[in-house]
């Protein structure tokens, strides 16, 4: 066990820091650009230098570097230190790009990857439907090939960034004669067409991060399909794997706990400063046990993946561990808020695990942590995955029957 | 950056595991559970021959010269197997001498401890939940007068390191005048604890005992955390095995989502704590500023997790889980010991809160 990075990597860190000091904050004409544009130009330069989008070939605008988890970590640390922008987040770069790189046609990669990682093309995901949640493969949105176009009819739900999106990657039933999983195709559909209506879905917090999307004779060219007809389910598994992996993050858990300690330092509880109350002290230290376990599990996974080894069952646990922590932290926060716990949450800063907006931000977090726990598959679905893939328990009888395997 | 155990460390765990399988299989552990000795001579002899009795004792004194992490990995393996015996107290006595003893004391005792010629133990508790060095009331000088509680295998020990107010640690040899021991009737039959009474018993001060006493406490917490992790893993594995074998309604019960989720939750509680105990062991030697707090949090967190898993494990086995015949009881009771010895989780959470400046 050695928690230092070693000389080779410390040299690399010095190289990255040196590059950053001459390029961030933006210099010369770049400094004159509007913030978003300056950041986009910076990202392109950092990709060119091989620091960002490292797993993406240069011809699609990536940094094209051999996999090296330790260098990746050093880059994250060095960029974070000077507040330089990392890869553009968003469902397009996090989920669509890896899928296209693995399963897409050459022209699809050329057309979509560069614009997506630069933030010029915005995507939304058309998976869930009102009748197809955990049992996603039962989806009913219909796609028919008429002439040289797919014609799509149906309804999607929980669609983040649908208003802003230029494109949707969408699962549709294109082969109605085939069994459940074999009848699905993975289509890329332009969002800016009259046949698509986006309607925001108001959440219990009062905010609206998600939408319903109605497709009524929506159209996309015949070749805008990833994989072959009927292969959509397996193509989507590539993507869902990326989503599950992206949700567990110990840095976020640590940050939210730090926020909780700060709240405790300024709160009163049972008529005295909260930090003098033995039950609060116990609960804080109890939570820290979970946070440290999550943190060092992350370090274990990091080491395993840097060595190219399988991370094992722990890799299936990140999502539930981080959402449990988010939930437990906000429960303690609500107790610290006391009377303020009756106020309306501040909803405008959603899509974040970290409360902002003072005490009322914690009320938002109290509810929002539940939303995060459900996103990308409910906790109970993930428990099935841990039980079946992690512990080797037999698959559920009903899931077995309909799996199409 | 390498947050993983080495090949040598994996081999240490495999070798210890193999030894227990040969010398003290489950059938033998069950025999020991019918008695009150908490001891298997053949297993301890095998551990001594393998060098496990002197893992953290420097090579110049005949030990293996390894670190806390190695000691903790051995503790995990012993716990996973349900191994009985005096490993914990012996390891802590050796460490107390390494950290607190004079050169002459080290030369006199460490080789004998490393080679198993003498068994070592530590007398820390004083009853009424007094465990921590800052709470010790027994006065230590050239003689001792009073009592210590919950001392592992004191009746067998050749040397007892006793926690005292003032100098911190003193050493008492087997057969010293005025010393009497009495065994407790323990829930965990894989361990043995004694009360030790001193009546003008001669003792020697460990010159660095005050500082060493804190480190011995931290070491104890890390080893208990590692032991609890091993026990928790074993309990989970037993439940998974049972779920794959036991049939009801015509299928193995592991098909049922209710049980599958219960087992997944147990895994979610225990598996992530492996990194926590590794880190607590690592910083003991390498980042001493963090050591005391990490040890406290690891002990509090992991012993609590394992205790709950043990309760869940009884439930997951149904009626058979409640019987003496079912092996779940072995680790259920081990978890009870690990949770209580050296202070319950709430004690160490409060210490962690103080150390954070809360």
Q: Judge whether A189 lies within some domain.
A: yes
Chain A residues within an 8 Å CB radius of B264 = 383-384, 386-387, 390-391
Q: Judge whether B1 lies within some domain.
A: no
Size of interface A-B (CB pairs under 8 A): 155
Name the residue facing B244 among A261, A380, A393 (closest C-beta).
Answer: A393
Quickly list H helices, A191-317.
232-247, 250-266, 278-306
Pair A281, A170 in one domain = no
Pair A252, A394 in one domain = yes
**Taking the mean position of all CA atoms in its chain, how far away is CA A299?**
20
Domain final residue, candidates A235, A264, A283: A235
Pair B336, B251 in one domain = yes
Supply the CATH number for residue A222's domain: 2.40.110.10
Q: Between residues B80 and A40, which one has the greater pLDDT? A: B80
Helix, strand, coil shares, percent, chain A, to 5: 55, 15, 30
Residue B244 and residue A4: Cβ atoms within 8 Å? no
Residue B311 has pLDDT above 70, yes or no: yes
SS3 assignment, position B80? helix
| pLDDT for B61 | 98
Pair B242, B347 in one domain = yes
Spatial contact of A182 and A133, defined as CB atoms under 8 Å apart: no
Domain final residue, candidates B171, B188, B208: B208
Phi, psi of A267 (to 5 degrees): -105, 155
CA distance A302 to A315: 10
A331 contact B CB<8A: no
B217 contact A CB<8A: no
Domain final residue, candidates B208, B226, B251: B208
Name the residue facing A1 among B3, B240, B263 (closest C-beta).
Answer: B3
Residue A1 and residue B272: Cβ atoms within 8 Å? no
Pair B72, B155 in one domain = no
Pair B44, B137 in one domain = no
B260 contact A CB<8A: yes
Touching B: A residues 136-165, CB under 8 Å: none
CA distance A238 to A375: 17
Name the residue facing A275 among B257, B282, B358 (closest C-beta).
Answer: B358
The CA distance from A179 to the nearest CA of chain B, in Å, is 24
Residue B167 has pLDDT above 50, yes or no: yes
SS3 assignment, position A52? coil
The pairing of beta strand A167-173 with beta strand A123-126:
parallel
Please name which of B190, B238, B155 lies closest in space to residue B338, comparing C-alpha atoms.
B190
Pair A168, A71 in one domain = no
Pair A377, A332 in one domain = yes
Would you give the DSSP letter of residue B47?
Answer: H
Chain A residues within an 8 Å CB radius of B357 = none
Residue B4 and residue A380: Cβ atoms within 8 Å? no
Any idea which residue has 């332009």 for tokens? A190
Range of the domain at A380: 248-402
Q: Looking at the annotation, which residues of A are catalytic?
A: 243
Q: Judge whether B161 lies within some domain.
A: yes
Spatial contact of B164 and B170, defined as CB atoms under 8 Å apart: yes
Q: Judge whether A241 lies within some domain.
A: no
Other residues' Cβ atoms within 10 Å of the Cβ of residue B152:
27
Q: Judge whether A290 lies within some domain.
A: yes
Range of the domain at B350: 211-355
Spatial contact of A345 and A360, defined as CB atoms under 8 Å apart: yes
| pLDDT for A249 | 60
CA distance A49 to A64: 10
Pair B106, B135 in one domain = no
Chain A residues within an 8 Å CB radius of B268 = 317, 320-321, 324, 386
Pair B217, B162 in one domain = no
Spatial contact of A161 and A151, defined as CB atoms under 8 Å apart: no
Q: pLDDT tens-digit profile of B6-60? A: 999 999 999 999 999 999 999 999 999 999 899 999 999 999 999 999 999 999 9
Pair A305, A397 in one domain = yes
Residue B272 and residue A261: Cβ atoms within 8 Å? no
Name the residue facing A386 among B4, B264, B276 (closest C-beta).
Answer: B264
Residue B349 and residue A281: Cβ atoms within 8 Å? yes
Count the residues in chain B.
358
Pair B94, B183 in one domain = no
Which residue of B271, B277, B285 to mutate against A (max A Cβ within 10 Å)?
B271
Touching B: A residues 299-318, CB under 8 Å: 299-300, 302-304, 306-307, 313-314, 317
CA distance B130 to B116: 30
Pair A228, A253 in one domain = no
- Residue A163, class by beta-carbon neighbours within 10 Å (0-12 exposed, 13-18 middle, 19+ buried)? middle
Pair B38, B164 in one domain = no
Pair B262, B194 in one domain = no
Pair A278, A394 in one domain = yes
| pLDDT for A240 | 62
B294 contact A CB<8A: yes
Other residues' Cβ atoms within 10 Å of the Cβ of residue A234:
15
The CA distance from A300 to the nearest CA of chain B, in Å, is 5
CA distance A319 to B59: 45
| pLDDT for A247 | 36
| pLDDT for A27 | 83
Name the residue facing A296 among B6, B275, B356 (closest C-beta).
Answer: B275
Q: Judge whether A219 lies within some domain.
A: yes
Q: Judge whether A240 lies within some domain.
A: no
Q: Judge whether A101 lies within some domain.
A: no
Pair A270, A198 in one domain = no
Name the residue facing A384 among B3, B257, B353 (closest C-beta).
Answer: B257
Q: Judge whether A87 lies within some domain.
A: no
Supply the CATH number for residue B129's domain: 2.40.110.10
Pair B204, B221 in one domain = no
The CA distance from A270 to the nearest CA of chain B, in Å, is 17
Residue B358 and residue A284: Cβ atoms within 8 Å? yes
Pair A268, A390 in one domain = yes
B231 contact A CB<8A: no
Chain B residues within an 8 Å CB radius of A392 = 240, 244
For the segment B81-89, the average pLDDT, to the nearest whole number, is: 98
Spatial contact of A391 and B264, defined as CB atoms under 8 Å apart: yes
Pair A395, A278 in one domain = yes
Q: Judge whether B2 lies within some domain.
A: no
Would you give the DSSP letter of residue A105?
Answer: -
For the segment B198-207, the average pLDDT, to the nearest whole number, is: 98
Pair A301, A214 in one domain = no
Please name which of B169, B249, B262 lies closest in space to residue B211, comparing C-alpha atoms.
B169
Supply the CATH number for residue A374's domain: 1.20.140.10
Chain B residues within an 8 Å CB radius of A318 = none
Pair A386, A285 in one domain = yes
**Number of domains observed in the structure of chain A:** 3
Other residues' Cβ atoms within 10 Å of the Cβ of residue A387:
27
Residue A394 and residue B254: Cβ atoms within 8 Å? yes
| pLDDT for B59 | 98
Which H/E stretch holds residue B199? strand B193-202
Supply the CATH number for residue B48's domain: 1.10.540.10
Chain A residues within an 8 Å CB radius of B302 = 289
Pair B242, B280 in one domain = yes
Would you give the DSSP letter of residue A16?
Answer: H
Domain final residue, candidates A235, A265, A281: A235
- Tens of pLDDT, residue by residue, chain A (405 residues): 888 888 889 999 999 999 999 998 888 888 888 877 888 889 889 999 999 999 899 999 999 998 787 888 889 889 988 889 888 778 898 889 999 999 999 999 999 999 999 888 999 999 999 999 889 999 999 999 999 999 999 999 999 999 999 999 999 999 999 999 999 999 999 999 999 999 999 988 888 888 999 999 999 999 999 999 999 999 998 866 655 444 346 888 898 999 999 999 999 999 999 999 999 999 999 999 999 999 999 888 888 877 878 888 988 998 899 889 999 999 999 999 999 899 888 765 555 556 766 788 898 889 888 887 777 778 898 999 999 999 999 987 666 555 433
Residue A383 and residue B279: Cβ atoms within 8 Å? no
Which H/E stretch holds residue A125? strand A123-126
B276 contacts: CB under 8 Å, gap ≥ 6: A289, A292, A293, A296, B225, B294, B297, B298, B301, B302
Q: Between residues B98 and A249, which one has the greater pLDDT? A: B98
Chain B nearest-CA residue for A301: B3
Touching B: A residues 73-92, CB under 8 Å: 73
Chain A residues within an 8 Å CB radius of B251 = 394, 397
Chain B nearest-CA residue for A4: B1
Chain A nearest-CA residue for B293: A285
Q: Judge whether B288 lies within some domain.
A: yes
| pLDDT for A405 | 34
CA distance A54 to B172: 63
Domain final residue, candidates A212, A235, A258: A235
Residue A302 and residue B1: Cβ atoms within 8 Å? yes
| pLDDT for A360 | 82
CA distance A125 to A158: 9
Pair B185, B290 in one domain = no
Establish whether the linkage from the previous residue to A25 is cis, with ω within 30° of 0.
yes
**Number of domains observed in the structure of chain B:** 3
Domain final residue, candidates B187, B208, B229: B208
């Amino acid at each position: 066990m050695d928690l230092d990075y070693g000389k080779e990597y410390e040299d690399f860190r010095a190289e990255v820091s040196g590059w950053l000091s001459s390029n961030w904050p933006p210099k010369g004409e770049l400094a004159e650009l509007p913030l978003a544009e300056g950041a986009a130009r910076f990202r392109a330069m950092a990709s060119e230098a091989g620091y960002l989008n490292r797993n993406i070939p240069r011809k699609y605008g990536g940094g094209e570097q051999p996999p090296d988890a330790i260098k990746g970590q050093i880059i994250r640390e060095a960029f974070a230190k000077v507040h330089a922008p990392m890869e553009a987040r968003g469902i397009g770069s996090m989920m669509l790009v890896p899928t296209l790189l693995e399963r897409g046609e050459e022209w699809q990669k050329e057309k979509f990857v560069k614009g997506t990682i630069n933030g010029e093309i915005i995507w939304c995901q058309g998976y869930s439907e009102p009748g197809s949640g955990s049992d996603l493969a039962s989806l009913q949105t219909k796609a028919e090939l008429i002439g040289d176009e797919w014609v799509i009819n149906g309804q999607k739900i929980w669609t983040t960034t649908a208003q802003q999106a230029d494109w949707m990657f969408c699962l549709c039933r294109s082969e109605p004669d085939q069994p459940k999983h074999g009848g699905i195709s993975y289509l890329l559909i332009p969002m800016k067409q009259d046949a698509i209506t986006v309607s925001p879905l108001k959440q219990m917090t009062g905010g609206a991060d998600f939408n319903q999307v109605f497709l009524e004779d929506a159209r996309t060219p015949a070749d805008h399909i990833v994989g072959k007809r009927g292969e959509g389910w397996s193509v989507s598994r590539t993507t869902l794997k990326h989503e599950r992996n992206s949700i567990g993050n110990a840095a976020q858990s640590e940050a939210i706990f730090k926020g909780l300690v700060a709240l405790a330092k300024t709160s009163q509880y049972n008529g005295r400063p909260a930090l003098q109350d033995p039950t609060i002290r116990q609960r804080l230290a109890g939570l820290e046990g979970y946070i440290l376990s999550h943190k060092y599990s992350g370090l274990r996974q990091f080491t395993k993946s840097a060595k190219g080894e399988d991370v094992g069952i722990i890799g299936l646990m990140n999502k539930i561990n981080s959402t449990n922590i988010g939930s437990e932290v906000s429960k303690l926060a609500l107790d610290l808020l006391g009377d303020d716990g009756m106020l309306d949450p501040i909803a405008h800063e959603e899509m974040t695990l970290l409360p902002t907006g003072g005490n009322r931000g914690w009320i938002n977090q109290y509810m929002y942590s539940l939303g995060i726990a459900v996103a990308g598959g409910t906790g109970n679905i993930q428990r099935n995955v841990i039980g079946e893939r992690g512990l080797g328990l037999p698959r559920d009888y009903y899931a077995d029957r309909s799996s199409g395997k | 950056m390498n947050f993983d155990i080495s090949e040598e460390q994996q081999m240490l765990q495999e070798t210890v595991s193999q030894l227990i399988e040969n010398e003290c299989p489950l059938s033998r552990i069950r025999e020991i559970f019918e008695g009150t000795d908490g001891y298997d001579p053949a297993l301890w002899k095998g551990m001594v021959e393998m060098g496990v009795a002197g893992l953290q004792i420097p090579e110049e004194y005949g030990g293996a010269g390894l670190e806390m992490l190695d000691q903790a990995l051995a503790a995990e393996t012993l716990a996973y197997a349900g191994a009985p015996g005096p490993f914990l107290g012996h390891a802590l006595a050796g460490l107390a001498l390494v950290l607190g003893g004079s050169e002459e004391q080290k030369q006199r005792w460490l080789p004998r401890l490393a080679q198993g010629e003498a068994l070592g133990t530590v007398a820390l508790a004083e009853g009424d939940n007094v465990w921590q060095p800052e709470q010790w009331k027994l006065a230590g000088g050239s003689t001792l007068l009073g009592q210590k509680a919950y001392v592992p295998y004191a009746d067998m020990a050749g040397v007892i390191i006793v926690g005292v107010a003032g100098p911190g640690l003193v050493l008492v040899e087997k057969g010293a005048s005025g010393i009497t021991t009495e065994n407790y009737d323990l829930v965990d039959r894989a361990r043995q604890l004694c009360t030790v009474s001193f009546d003008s018993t001669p003792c020697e001060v460990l010159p660095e005992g005050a500082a060493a006493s804190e480190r011995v406490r931290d070491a104890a917490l890390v080893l208990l955390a590692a032991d609890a992790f091993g026990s928790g893993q074993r309990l989970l594995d037993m439940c998974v095995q049972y779920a794959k074998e036991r049939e009801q309604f015509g299928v193995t019960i592991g098909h049922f989502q209710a049980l599958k989720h219960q087992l997944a939750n147990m895994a979610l509680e225990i598996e992530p704590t492996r990194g926590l105990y590794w880190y607590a062991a690592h910083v003991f030697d390498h980042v001493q500023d963090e050591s005391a707090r990490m040890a406290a949090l690891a002990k509090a967190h992991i012993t609590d997790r394992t205790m709950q898993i043990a309760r869940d494990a009884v439930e997951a086995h149904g009626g058979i889980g409640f019987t003496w015949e079912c092996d779940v009881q072995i680790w259920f009771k081990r978890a009870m010991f690990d949770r209580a010895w050296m202070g319950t989780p709430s004690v160490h959470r409060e210490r962690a809160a103080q150390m954070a400046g809360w």
